[in-house]
A = this chain, B = another copy of it.
Amino acid sequence: MAQAPVKRPPGRPRSDAVRTVVLKAANDLLEEVGFAKLTMEGIAAKAGVSKATLYRWWPSKGAVAMDAFMAATVPRITFPQTDSAVADVTAQMLLLAQAYRGVTGRLVRELIGLGQSDPEMLKTFISGYLVPRRGATKEVLRRGIASGEIRTDVDLEILVDSLYAPIFHRLLLQHLPLEDAFVLHIASQAFSTVTLSGKNTPVSVRL
């Protein structure tokens, strides 16, 4: 009956190699020189691509950078899987803090920084990076609620904020170091108000 109407549009199709090579070049440059010194000209040169092609597919260097970051980073969002939601989230927070102390941290900082004067970029960052992360965290927390580890009346959004905001705070403001002890303290404190007694405590988690 119904016929597959997947009509390819006419004309030479977009080369996928271009996208790949551009994002690769952008990522390399991003790690080399950082976002501030990243230039469209540089990306084009490194990727062996013309500027016109760059501008055909990305509206600005911020968009390329964001895309490059997403392509390289998002696939790696994974959560530990144990029988304790609190332990899982805490372990994940420690992993995140560790990543944020390295190159990824610099990239995240610069991309969020970029977003402060470019609303579109911020939206991309939120929907492409932040929302998925928070979603995964909430999933784990819901497991904890189901298992009776976490109280049923918590506001998940606020809980997630309480857990991750201090990490972003120290990442972005750099007024104090982003140490594991700090992360554990924050986790312990945030969970203390929403967990039921006689259960696993995050403090027991070890890396």
A residues adjacent to B (C-beta < 8 A): 34-36, 109-110, 112-118, 122, 126, 130-131, 134, 155, 157-158, 161-162, 164-166, 168-170, 172-176, 182, 185-186, 189-190, 192-193
* A192 partner residues in chain B, CB cutoff 8 A: 193
Pick from B134, B155, B164, B172: contact of A185, CB under 8 Å:
B155
* A164 partner residues in chain B, CB cutoff 8 A: 169
Give complex CA distance A162, B6 in Å.
52
Specify the chain B residue showing the minimal Cβ separation from A164.
B169
**Is there contact, CB below 8 Å, between B126 and A117?**
no
Give complex CA distance A36, B116 in Å.
9
Give complex CA distance A113, B34 in Å.
14
* A175 partner residues in chain B, CB cutoff 8 A: 126, 130-131, 134
Give complex CA distance A187, B87 in Å.
25
**Is there contact, CB below 8 Å, between B185 and A193?**
no
**Is there contact, CB below 8 Å, between B168 and A118?**
no
Pick from B115, B118, B173, B193: contact of A126, CB under 8 Å:
B173
Pick from B112, B176, B193: contact of A193, CB under 8 Å:
B193
CB A202 to nearest CB in B, in angstroms, measures 14
* A166 partner residues in chain B, CB cutoff 8 A: 158, 161-162, 165
CB within 8 Å for A172 and B131 given contacts A117-B35, A185-B158: no
* A162 partner residues in chain B, CB cutoff 8 A: 162, 166, 186, 189
Give complex CA distance A131, B173 in Å.
11
